[in-house]
Chain A
Amino acid sequence: MNDKKYDILIVGGGVVGTAIARELSKYNLSIALFEKETDVASGTSKANSGIIHAGYNASKDTLKGRLNIESNPMFDQIVSDLKVPFKRIGSLVVGHSQEDKEKLILEKEKSLAQADIDLRVIEKQELREKEPDLAEDAIVALYAPNAGIISPYKLTIAQAENAANNGVEIHLQTEVKQVLHENNYITGIKTNKGEFYGSVVINAAGLYADKIAATVGENYEIVPRKGEYNLFDKKYGSLVNHVIFPMPSEKSKGILITPTVDGNLLLGPNSYVVDDKDDLEVTEQGLNEIWSGGKKLYPSLPGGGVISSFAGLRATIPADPYNDDFKIEALDKPVGFIDVAGIQSPGLSSAPGIAKMVERLIKDISTEIKAPISLKEKPTYNPELDKLPRLDDYKDHREDWHQVYQEDNNYGEIVCRCEHVTKGEIIAELKKSLAPPTLDALKRRTRASGGRCQGGFCGPRIAEIIAEEFNISPLEVTKNGPGSEILMERVKDIKADRDITYRRQKDEN
């Protein structure tokens, strides 16, 4: 079906796959990225804590430790190029006892021995100045000023858009079924939309990386580890000023509280292994668990302030699902297959470093693969995305928005009341080549319907705008792809073929 030959085929449109695509798009290579869902950032990359860790947590001997440390300073340039919201607000690991304090000092010393990270242990008074609403019994904290918060899905989407602008083909709703190889050389992939040929396949398929790897005879298992979250109304965004962690346990960094870059407050995650890679259920038990974790840190956490609960899955590789490392390597057999698997936390924090590492791996095998390639930088490469106007960014100088409005009066029509998103902002996103006609995709790009009313007011209006822009019926507008249509049929259309049961008032005796 598709006779075109590519140099590089990337499987997976998460933060890792798109970071790699963008990194490689500076070279004169033909690259295609495949994502099985209707949008990039549809898996782990859309539902996580959105934290860029300072890098002290993991040992430098591990890939995840090394890549996190290497990646943290890279974010300033990335977000400046891609216009992605990011704030270095710093993180605090909070302790409650002398014993905790000793542990934190030890942690600090251990970390400083490995890398030059800005880390300090602060005492109660300074802690209270930084976080006035923190629980009274918090007396000490490990402070890492370089930790930051980012919108993980906006980063992923921006990376994909920038890669696409630089020539990467992004194939959505294209599920890779099999990796093709002949005589130990990668030759391409087979998808639900036909075969695509190329000599390098990068497996960044997240939760499904094991399925992809199995088709080249590589055997490992990805085990999903769930984390549940609560998102709070923007009203409460200022309750917390830093990323706040409890004392870490063996299995995780614990239930944290952080402001988000959009000004909300995020609480979570818990952490437990599940069987099903589609299991995004939020459980009563899980919500209770994160809630009590949050209350311990912030007793004044407002119960009524939650506007959204969600769950995300991290892709881990056992035997020890709580303490494994990333699996990033170029296989000897077949040549041309690069595994980028088991990217659990701190995967988001490490994404830029992972992309650089994959770039080096490709350089190493560039002459050995079936159709050798040379990595020549192309002069047309542009690492930047244009910044689109957002009303929310004009809070303190509304008068300047008038100029935006004068260019296009759609910027004067507010569609999402809670998040103050205008029709102009929505249309600008929908006009981009990557944007799919779904409410969720639009929510991630503009925040429309992501506020406190969760689309109660603007859902119908957004569906209408999507339908207009894509020239489809509102009946075809979905939440997140086929099968998730918002509306069933036109009112009155079903009357003709359905019996209307109209019952007399029932006798209760």
Chain B
Amino acid sequence: MDQRTIVCLSCPKGCRVTVKANGDDIKDISGHECPQGIEYAKNEYLNPTRILPTTVRVKNGQIALVPVKTAAPIPKGKIGEAMQKLAEVEVEAPIKLGQVIVENIVETGVDVVATRSIKAKN
């Protein structure tokens, strides 16, 4: 049986929740002080996801980089690959907040969007 301790982020208390499982089959969850801990630990164990905030190079913009994020959380394991991909991207200013910078980043079904509007250089 696998066993992993997950820090629950549902509230600032940060309970250490222990998950015991056979593969994807969760057998036991313990250590949580409220029901939110179960849900959190389950998701975090089976399919941990994160929003990826980073930057992308800008051509002809008032600043050199535009901040971006994945519009929804993507699997944790895909983040390295996504960073690699985004390192090769360059977008032309002007850029509007919310503008899609990369569609379906590394086949996650999630778009990468700009989180700041950037004017073109003059």
Chain A residues near B (Cβ < 8 Å): 491-492, 495-496, 500-502, 504-505, 507-509
How many angstroms between the C-alpha atoms of A483 and B25 in the bound complex? 55
A491 touches B65 (CB 8 A): yes
A463 to chain B, nearest CB (A): 13
Q: Which of B5, B6, B18, B57 contacts A492 (CB 8 A)?
A: B57
A507 cross-chain contacts in B, Cβ below 8 A: 3-5
How many angstroms between the C-alpha atoms of A492 and B83 in the bound complex? 9
Contact of B48 with A by CB under 8 A: yes
Contact of B80 with A by CB under 8 A: yes
B80 cross-chain contacts in A, Cβ below 8 A: 500-502
Q: Which residue of A lies closest to B78 (CB)?
A: A502
DSSP majority for the B interface?
mixed
Contact of B79 with A by CB under 8 A: yes
How many angstroms between the C-alpha atoms of A465 and B55 in the bound complex? 24
A502 touches B79 (CB 8 A): yes
B76 touches A509 (CB 8 A): no
Q: Which of A500, A504, A509 contacts B84 (CB 8 A)?
A: A500
Contact of B87 with A by CB under 8 A: yes
| Contacts A496-B87, A500-B84; A505 near B55 (Cβ below 8 A) | no
28 contacting pairs across A/B (C-beta < 8 A): A491-B55, A491-B65, A492-B87, A495-B83, A495-B84, A495-B87, A495-B88, A496-B88, A500-B80, A500-B83, A500-B84, A501-B80, A502-B76, A502-B77, A502-B79, A502-B80, A504-B48, A504-B76, A505-B4, A505-B6, A505-B44, A505-B48, A505-B76, A508-B16, A509-B3, A509-B4, A509-B5, A509-B18
Chain B residues near A (Cβ < 8 Å): 3-6, 16, 18, 44, 48, 55, 57, 65, 76-77, 79-80, 83-84, 86-88
How many angstroms between the C-alpha atoms of A507 and B48 in the bound complex? 14
Interface centre among A496, A501, A505 (most CB of B within 10 A): A505
How many angstroms between the C-alpha atoms of A384 and B112 in the bound complex? 61
- Top-4 shortest CB links A-B: A495-B87, A502-B80, A500-B80, A492-B87
A508 cross-chain contacts in B, Cβ below 8 A: 5, 16
How many angstroms between the C-alpha atoms of A505 and B17 in the bound complex? 13
How many angstroms between the C-alpha atoms of A206 and B10 in the bound complex? 63
How many angstroms between the C-alpha atoms of A495 and B56 in the bound complex? 12
B84 cross-chain contacts in A, Cβ below 8 A: 495, 500
How many angstroms between the C-alpha atoms of A159 and B51 in the bound complex? 58
B87 cross-chain contacts in A, Cβ below 8 A: 492, 495-496
Q: Which residue of A lies closest to B55 (CB)?
A: A491
Q: Which residue of B lies closest to A494 (CB)?
A: B87
Q: Which residue of A lies closest to B48 (CB)?
A: A505
B4 cross-chain contacts in A, Cβ below 8 A: 505, 507, 509
B23 to chain A, nearest CB (A): 15
B10 to chain A, nearest CB (A): 16
How many angstroms between the C-alpha atoms of A496 and B57 in the bound complex? 14
How many angstroms between the C-alpha atoms of A134 and B37 in the bound complex? 60
